[in-house]
Structure 1
Amino acid sequence: MKKLILGIAIVASAFVFGQKGDVNAKLQETNKAAMDAYNAKNYTVAAPKFLEVYNLLKTSGQDDKIYMYYAGLSYALANNSDEAIKIYTDLINSGFTGVQTTYTAKEKKSGNVIPLDKTTWDLMKKNADYSDFKTEQTASVEPDLYETLTTLLMNAKKPNEALVIIEKGLAKFPNNAKLKEAQATAYYDSGNTEKFIGALKEQLAKNPTDATNWYNLGVMQSKNPATVEDAIASFKKAIEIKPDFDNAYQNLVYIVIGDDSKTVEQINATRKEKPEEATKLIDARKERFAKALPYAEAWYKAAPENLDALTALKETYIITKNIDKIKDLKAKEAELKAKAK
């Protein structure tokens, strides 16, 4: 979710400056430099150039925020998060949507379709040398503004600020899947576990085949002794959807076995004075390891190069008295330990 994926085709011919003389020449020059840098993926150069275009236009009375948007996009692609966050925040607060009306006409002699500003487009209708006068509206970039600013804030470790933007965005776009996903992550990163769990359940209600969300739900449920059984069910659901989900198997092993070091301490503490109680603890321990065995085997199968998986399986075989199978693991264990050095 936190990976920032951006990209847009910025086309020079789509924008026509209604300036004259030196001002227009400066605008055209700066705009060309900005787009050349953007197309060359030199975003560090492109960003301030787009801002310069915006400011030149604003000075002459045209507050065309599309160029501010291009500047913010370029700053984001240049990994200049601070500047990108400032611009995207300003754009959202200003109500910018990016929707623009473009005006075109066809030159009869050449057959070329040329872009025009509205005033010229209206005047050209009287010119017999032009035909096919058309207007089109560009798509709104408003959802992108919320999604990108959210990602920038999350990458900057500002989950609480991200939540403000997410909630504002979801008020406008309640079905935006990216914002919903980001909301769950922001709840988690901000320490709001109850809302994180609620967000996960909401997402799973809409998409019950998301193995990662089932796994994440299981992780959160496993932290509460009252919902441990729910956690086991969630992990099982994750591996049902994704049979090679090694992390889910790992958690199942550990959650079923429980705090084994504490159990061993209790056994040792009661072995002499309360042997019957110690025997019950030993039997219960064996039962837990037997229950965890299929998950340990599946974990090792899903991650055969993972030393932790092998060690867990080996220990489970020892407790469940699968001596022959322990022998098969020794060579692999030596190999993995050698690699780990």
Structure 2
Amino acid sequence: MKKGILVALAISVSAFSFAQKKELKAVEKAIKSSNFAEAKAALKQAESLMSAMDDKTKAKYYYLEAQTLYANGKGTDADIDASLESLSKVEGDYQNEVEELKVKMLNEMLTAGNDAYEAKDYSKASKYFERSYRASTKDTLFLYYAASAAVNVKEYDRALKLYEELKNMGFTGIKKEYYATNVETGEEEVMDKNTRDIYVKTKSHKDPGERTTESKKPEIVKNIALIYISQGNDEKALESMDDARAESPDDINLILSEANIHFKMGNTEKFKSLLERATELDPQNPELQYNLGVISSESDHPEEAKAYYKKAIELDPNYVNSYINLAALILGEERPIIEEMNGLGTSKKDNLRYDELREKRKNLYREAIPYLSKALEIKEDNIEAARTLMNIYSIIGETDKFKSLKEKVDMLEAGN
């Protein structure tokens, strides 16, 4: 009985082996004739025999599966991704064939990616660049191109995943770059070292040199932080911002991005300190001065706010919002005056005080007039500035100016 069983098992294994070879030969035949649908069907048959395959046959199976799914570059996105996955499973035998297929796939995918990028189809380009990296993981620059292209079409979830992968692998993109100046055009050209040396020898180029490119890490960590900001994930954004600021402490855009997160989270003191740092780096930026004015005003530091608004105007005489806010700060001082006036009695002393306060209030209006007038001069359709100025002229008794402004306000209101 034992002998019979052994013979039966031997026959069974032999049958499996024959079936495997038959199905895989069918796959090879279909691939050669570019009949990839038939190749897929034959692979399905072979897959059912997978548990009985030896390592060499498994390697062949995955190699053929990769060819079938890739379909000479005509496979679906999912099939091409699965093709690369199949190649990663090939172990032992067929390494030369795998490398040959990878090179073919890499060249075709890079061409497709570049063509898509030139056509501004960044979503498609990103996918091809990522696949190029998966086919040749030593070429990490392809993964960087994939992330950058994804950002161009605001595919932020995809870009974030790729950037995080780059960050985790310690990618910097630093490389040595060789260059020389084209004698005919006078323009500097970057090329590989051998080509440059040949061009210089033939005198078509001059002034050869080499340099190390800048690290792409600051850009990567910065984009990670900005993507988290766009997603509203403030905590993650601040964590990533720490990484980004460590790489580029004086990047003003990073400082402002972090400041905006803190403002959004209600951390006004941190927001203000970051804005102050930004103004140190860019002292000629009126918008920074204006924003410092806003935060100072909201923090109940009106004199400080006025100084910032005036600095913004000094840097940009047409910064209309600074004029509006200066006028608002001045007019905001009338509230305690009005409250005191309303609280006075009818005694002689109270009447004298009332007259003093009325004159003080008028002086505030007179102080605000130049700022409102300038704002209206810069932006003629600013109805709020026109209406405020009209009311001021009414209160201080400048009738002609009041009438002129009333006509303007009526016209602007009719236009709305």
Same-fold call, TM > 0.5?
yes
Q: CA deviation at 1:245?
A: 0.9
8 Å CA contact 1:218–1:231 kept in 2: the answer is: yes
Corresponding position of 1:207: 282
Cα deviation, 1:204-225, whole Å, max 9, x if unaligned, reads 2233221111100010000122
Corresponding position of 2:111: 32
For residues 102 and 212 of structure 1, do their structure 2 counterparts lie closer, same or farther at Cα, with a shift above 3 Å needed? closer
Cα deviation, 1:224-256, whole Å, max 9, x if unaligned, reads 22x211111111111111111110111111111
Q: Where does 1:231-310 land on structure 2 (aligned, <5 Å)?
A: 231-258=305-332, 267-268=341-342, 276=351, 279=355, 281-310=357-386
Bigger radius of gyration among the two: 2
Corresponding position of 1:42: 121
Deviates more, 1:213-222 or 1:172-181: 172-181
Higher helix share: 2
SS across alignment from 2:136: helix
Corresponding position of 1:154: 229
8 Å CA contact 1:160–1:190 kept in 2: the answer is: no
1:54 aligns with 2:130: no
User: How far, CA to CA, are the matches of 1:234 and 1:304 in structure 2?
Assistant: 24
User: How far, CA to CA, are the matches of 1:185 and 1:205 in structure 2?
Assistant: 17
Superposition TM-score, scaled by structure 1 size:
0.76
Q: CA deviation at 1:80?
A: 0.9
For residues 83 and 262 of structure 1, do their structure 2 counterparts lie closer, same or farther at Cα, with a shift above 3 Å needed? farther
For residues 140 and 323 of structure 1, do their structure 2 counterparts lie closer, same or farther at Cα, with a shift above 3 Å needed? same
Fraction of identical pairs, as percent: 30
User: How far, CA to CA, are the matches of 1:144 and 1:153 in structure 2?
Assistant: 14
Instruction: Give the unaligned 5+ runs of structure 2.
Output: 1-97, 180-189, 195-204
8 Å CA contact 1:300–1:313 kept in 2: the answer is: no
User: How far, CA to CA, are the matches of 2:254 and 2:191 in structure 1?
Assistant: 38
For residues 191 and 85 of structure 1, do their structure 2 counterparts lie closer, same or farther at Cα, with a shift above 3 Å needed? farther
User: How far, CA to CA, are the matches of 2:360 and 2:169 in structure 1?
Assistant: 64
User: Residue 171 of structure 2: which of 85, 93, 96 is its match?
Assistant: 96
For 1:297, the aligned partner's letter is S
Q: CA deviation at 1:279?
A: 4.8
User: How far, CA to CA, are the matches of 2:225 and 2:159 in structure 1?
Assistant: 11
SS across alignment from 1:182: helix
User: How far, CA to CA, are the matches of 1:241 and 1:102 in structure 2?
Assistant: 41
8 Å CA contact 2:286–2:312 kept in 1: the answer is: yes
Q: CA deviation at 1:81?
A: 1.2
Corresponding position of 1:65: 140
Corresponding position of 1:338: 414
The CA RMSD measured in Å over matched residues stands at 3.1
Q: CA deviation at 1:151?
A: 3.0
For residues 212 and 271 of structure 1, do their structure 2 counterparts lie closer, same or farther at Cα, with a shift above 3 Å needed? farther
Q: CA deviation at 1:52?
A: 1.4
User: How far, CA to CA, are the matches of 2:210 and 2:411 in structure 1?
Assistant: 69
User: How far, CA to CA, are the matches of 2:178 and 2:324 in structure 1?
Assistant: 60
Cα deviation, 1:168-218, whole Å, max 9, x if unaligned, reads 122222232332232322322232210111111122223322111110001
User: How far, CA to CA, are the matches of 1:21 and 1:90 in structure 2?
Assistant: 27
User: How far, CA to CA, are the matches of 2:333 and 2:211 in structure 1?
Assistant: 65
8 Å CA contact 2:252–2:281 kept in 1: the answer is: no
Corresponding position of 2:239: 164
For 1:151, the aligned partner's letter is L
For 2:223, the aligned partner's letter is T
Matched residue count: 295
Instruction: Give the unaligned 5+ runs of structure 1.
Output: 1-18, 105-112, 122-131
Superposition TM-score, scaled by structure 2 size:
0.63
Corresponding position of 1:318: 394
For residues 267 and 27 of structure 1, do their structure 2 counterparts lie closer, same or farther at Cα, with a shift above 3 Å needed? same
Q: CA deviation at 1:94?
A: 2.8
